Amino acid sequence: MQETAMTLVCQYRELFVHRSDQYAVQQRDGSYICMPEPLTYELLIGHLMGRWTLGTYLLDEQSRCSFAVFDADSEGGLGVLVQVARRLATDGVWSLLEASRRGGHLWVHLAEPTSARLVRAWLLPYAVDYGLELYPKQDMLAPGGSGSLIRLPLGVHRRSRGWYPFLEQVEGGVLLPVGQTPEACCAWAVEHIQRVVVPQWVGEQVQQDDELSESVALVPAGDTGLLVAGSSCGSGGIRAWCRSQDIREVIGRYVVLDRHGRGSCPFKEHHAHGDRHPSLQVFAGVDPHWYCYTWGRAGNVFDFLCLYHGLTSQEGWRWLKQGRLV
């Protein structure tokens, strides 16, 4: 892209940037460095022209987002995203398919900034059904945190040194680029993107969950390892469930561990410098827990599973009751 019309850049920013007070710069190894400064139009032009590659943070300080993204980071991921797009379309939700280095992204644009909790309550079941990651990955922004980060579309991926277009499915199920240049793809997106509203029933369901979590506690259900409704145990039920599990066996289903319980941490977004060493260690014994030496974060098996699946603790215990968490 030799020249970029300012009008098109403004439209691009409106579609793909929610938080503009900070951004991230992708490094050659694919990792990102956070830049706590305004994201300017000049920076976006440089991104679209391939001079550098930027990432954007999905959540603002009120924990709202203007879009959500399904991420399929594996071979065959585009095919899975096409299935999700079809299902969303059946439910009246328009989505934008983007190719990536491995797999792709599926964008859902919102009519207005919306609570991430509502967005996740609505879209997370789709992600779970198809084994995908959903961004934003948290309901609320942690104090002083930046939240979920995703690469801005149409820029050059620093690791593969290629750019990836938006795609549309034509007759026969063939996926074709909507344009041959970043500028053409951007113009197509501006013309075709349809924003959606989170259905009213989602807010009603979240409210019911809040009321339920206040009145229902969790206790062990015999020897099954699952949790059921109780009246007084509270978080002790989760601790009891954790003690009933073999932490190395459970985490070993998601991470390849050596005989010392060491493996590669699956939460790479927290590794600021792209560290790929086996920084995760799982400890058994009287105090079973896991610890990531790079991230400086520890937790029990329940914490690990909630982080891995992108669940809140409330969603996690609901999965436990349904036998879906392990």
Strand runs labelled E in the chain? 23-26, 32-35, 54-57, 64-72, 96-99, 104-115, 133-135, 149-151, 156-157, 162-163, 166-169, 175-177, 217-220, 227-230, 262-263, 280-283, 289-292, 297-299
- CATH 3.90.920-classified regions of the chain: 6-200
Ramachandran quadrant class, 292 (left: phi over 0; alpha: psi -120 to 50; beta: rest): beta
Quick check: helix, strand or coil at residue 198? Answer: coil
Q: What is the pLDDT of residue 75?
A: 79
Q: What is the pLDDT of residue 217?
A: 38
pLDDT > 70: percent of the chain: 87
Q: What is the pLDDT of residue 211?
A: 59
Give me the CATH code for the 6-200 domain, please: 3.90.920
Quick check: helix, strand or coil at residue 169? Answer: strand
Contact by Cβ (8 Å): 209, 311 = no
- What are the pLDDT digits (tens) for 51-70? 999 999 999 999 999 999 99
Q: What is the pLDDT of residue 53?
A: 96
What is 216-322's CATH superfamily?
Zinc finger, CHC2-typedomain (3.90.580.10)
Residue 201, C-beta contacts closer than 8 angstroms, at least 6 positions apart = none
Contact by Cβ (8 Å): 65, 58 = yes
- CATH 3.90.580.10-classified regions of the chain: 216-322
Q: What is the pLDDT of residue 257?
A: 92
| Sites in the chain below the pLDDT cut of 50 | 1-2, 215-234
- What are the pLDDT digits (tens) for 120-164? 989 988 888 888 889 998 888 877 778 889 999 999 999 889 999
Distance of CA 282 to the CA centre of its chain: 24
Other beta carbons less than 10 A from residue 286's beta carbon = 6
